[in-house]
Amino acid sequence: MKKLYVVGNRASKSLSPTIFNYWFKKYNIKASYGYLELTKKNFHKKINEVLKRKDTLGLNVTIPFKNKIIKHLGKIDVHAKKIGAVNCVINKKTINGTNTDWTGYYKTLPNIKKTKNRKVIILGYGGASHAIHYVLKKRGFKDILIFNRSKKKIKYSNKTQYTKTYSDLETHLSGVFLIINTTPINPILKKHLRLITKSTIVSDIVYSPKNTTFLKQFPNNKKIYGISMLIEQAKPCFKIWFGKNPSVEKKMLNTIYKKI
């Protein structure tokens, strides 16, 4: 039986095993999906051991190892290289990595015809934020503002640019089309709420609880829940490992929501 795992420092909290084991049962695939909860100290040793096992077919990699996994891989695709992070590993003849976070996030967005002049605000600039920023740039968004707790150099730009601080948020919230929270906290304060209209779409990549503290502040706004990104980035992983596109139906979603 082939084995797959989600790898992270809080992997036991992940819903990935629920998603993939549901698909295995649905499609009669003889495989199991578990978790590996590792630390920065034991990561390289343990991952090396797991990848050497003949029954290990693949991995999903999450915080904080999406960059650290790269040294264990034979090849990574162009998108993972540009983003600087791998979240999906396939272990067959060679051990290769890819990044499905970027396409996974974009598939959660509503159908957007004109992107050039739409203002997007990204809160936080860690690994998942890099993937989201990458796909928004790739899909034609020109007005992307990134806010972070500390000053960081922004990728995917022809000129040197740095993230803005949260103290600058107030002056940039007018006319924003989409606000994406990629942090485990809520950077939006009460003074910011009066500047955000009901037409703004709000998105949080944290999926548990479904209605995060950040999202609760916007009862009348269109929301993109974190579980959507988790499922959409999982679908191409399944295709990479097993060669078919899995479907998502109400029964599956009910199974997942019971665990949030």
Q: How confident is the model at residue 158 (pLDDT cuts 50, 70, 90)?
A: confident
66 flagged as catalytic: yes
Average pLDDT over the chain reads 94
Query: Are the beta carbons of 213 and 155 closer than 8 angstroms?
Result: no
**Residue 188 CB-density burial (10 A; 0-12 exposed, 13-18 middle, 19+ buried):** buried
For the stretch 46-59, pLDDT in tens is 999 999 999 999 99
Domains and CATH numbers, the chain: 2-100+228-257 (3.40.50.10860), 111-221 (3.40.50.720)
pTM for this model (two decimals)? 0.93
Selecting among 13, 66, 142, 198, the annotated active-site residue is: 66
Q: What is the pLDDT of residues 72-104, one digit of tens each?
A: 999 999 999 999 999 999 999 899 999 999 999
Q: What is the pLDDT of residue 116?
A: 77
The pLDDT score that the predictor gives to residue 112 is 79
Do β-strands 95-98 and 75-76 pair in parallel, antiparallel, or remain unpaired? parallel
Beta bridge pairs of residue 178: 120, 201
